[in-house]
A and B are shown apart, each in its own frame.
Chain A
Amino acid sequence: MRLIGKEEVENIAIGASLLGTGGGGDPYIGKMMALQAIEEHGPIQLLDITELDDDDLVVPLAMMGAPTVMVEKIPSGEEALVSFRELEKVLGKEIKATMPIEAGGVNSLLPLALAARIGLPVVDGDGMGRAFPELQMVTFYLNDVSTTPMVLSDEKGNSMVLNTINGVWAEKIARSATMVLGGSVMNAIYPMTGKQAKDSAIYRTLTLEEKIGRTIKEAKKNKQNPIDAVLSLLGGYRLFTGKVVDIERKTDGGFVRGTATIDGLDNDKGNNCYLEFQNENLLAKTDTEVLCMTPDLITVLDTETALPITTEGLRYGARGTVIGIPSDEKWRTQKGIEVAGPRYFGYDYDFTPVEKLRERVRENDEISVGN
């Protein structure tokens, strides 16, 4: 166990937007809530997953609804608390710790705000290691952890308990309740034992986010290239460097789907990169080869500042470096690929790990140089 304060939270927010792979919602509101909670109640206890007892009750916290509502109707801070207290009543057991459901975007910061407020430890891990758009796209689901019982609460004091036959029904009912309650609620969801957390969570993602933030800041301070520094930290790859020349977007069933075309600069001059996204970046390819595909992580960093650019923030003229990061092994299993691989999102490719794709690119380059 270690304590984390404001500086760590600032760094975690930078890491969260990088692991958000272009989506996940702006972590700003979550960061500000966590900072205020720390100011009022002191630092947060961060628990390594291995420190959990097998029968401890661990409950992730996640917001549901429109991020645009949350930036206007900011939570009171009570919502999450009510969800947790009500779920304890249902389960007849005390919650030992909370945990982010995803490492990307706003949802990785919200559990920290709750944790500081009520002195509850946060488990250093999550259910995605990145951001994904759907409730079942969590490693908890891959390990058959039940989505419900779950409790959702609004800022007015309303709360409801859901017991559903599966995650799809939980998503359906919770989403329509969210609308009635004013467009943004806090969920206590996927309650699990310490044993289940150890088996199904992705380990130490908060620490990783903190390191990402710190690495970018320190590299800039020491006048080093922050993108190189982040890549060596994450074991990632520089896939393409260029400038955004075209964006196509359309709204489709709650997703913003689209393609960004990036015109190569420097070593990539003369080539184009096409970035396919649905809220998050899911596929990067050139005219001749695929560079990286979901569930591996694809993020665009501002070439100058190394700060992540979201799919919303992509616009003509932006100078970006596309990076690819291997996903956790849990996503590279047969079930993981079924749930969040390229075919699930409608891209007709067999999943190939980014490191394999890089080898192929390198071989092709050598062949063309040899010729």
Chain B
Amino acid sequence: MKNLNKLLDEYEGMSGYRIVEKHVLSYELFFVHRSLETVRDTDTTATDVTVYVDHDGVMGDSTFHVYRSMTEDDIKNKIKTAASRALLVSNQPYELPDGGKLEEKLPTDLDKYEPKTLGRMIADAVYDADNVPGGSINALEIFIYREEKHVVNSRGVDKKQTVNRVMIEAIPTFTDRDESVELYEDHRFTKFDREKITAEISEKMKEVSDRYRAEKPGKELNVNVVLRPHEIASLCGELSYDCNYQAIYMHANLHKDGDDLQPGDCDKINLTMKGVIEGSENSAYFDGDGAKLTDTVIIKDGVVCGSHGSYRFGQYLGVKEPSGALGCIELGAGTLTDEEIGKEPYIDVVSMSGIQVDLYNDYIGGEIRLAYYYDGEKTTPVTGVSMSAKLSDVLSSLRLSKKTDVCRNYKGPVKLLMKGVSVL
């Protein structure tokens, strides 16, 4: 990067620059059933440079990639082209974040292990759960990453952070005679906990055997539906995008400050965008501009009260201290207990093809791959059904569990109860 800095400093036709370099080391194992099919090792760097040019009272910018294969002359040409392109671009000016040196590592214990050893330990933890009669893990992919992100800009930002993370994709399967079903699951973590991995996969092994027994309900239902963290995170993601500086600047947002999303009797949404959530691989100390991150409440007691996003779009909206691009979402805990859920018939959704949340069309729905249907007396697994509801009705009547957990970039209630949903 040193040489790149020098070349950019020497070029006279620009008013600023930003370099984002991401160096990734990965060790990857791919299993077919219990056999090791592929072993991968990677050592790669991606470098993006953005050149800023003030001209005619406006600001232009242009980004280009730098590859290790490039010669100094190649890079000089790329800088020149980017500066020319920036002159064609006439955007509202803004200031890059200034100053600040930082070198941090996100909390982890993964770096205590050799990747080869860790890979085997993770595989063992997963296959320890493969002990259900009729069950099997038909595929397992393990990705062990060490990612070092370095952001430098012309205003003195020089920040580096290291993230150690693991992503595993396990395919629990249940087979009886000629029929077989599976569930797709991925698990992400920044600390190795063998028992937790085995317990999570064991739970999925049980659920996949239930999917084998699952049937489509005999009639259309209008019933309470319980969502789990993966789907709750998607819903929160849509709500948070609506409060993003960029969406507001581009006129793509639906709601504004003061809008009450939950006029009914319900657990109120308290949504905070955060830089760091312990256990989340999306945690960061700074964003892609090298800007510091400030946790920001965007929905309080169901009412939109804030916005978030990058320095650039924050400045465009006149925000004095933009939050920075925050990657994690925290939803406040509610009051719902399992006992309350069981007071009425409900469907507990375990797995969906992909939840669809559409703010514009006031819609939430999707195909359910596995759920448990409690009809007031007994619980049976169901499949082959789809749910759909009016999003505003859902928000105005939802209940949130007391119990919380971390799932990807989300921390919050492990259950969200939607009332009176059509399930066909």
Same complex: no
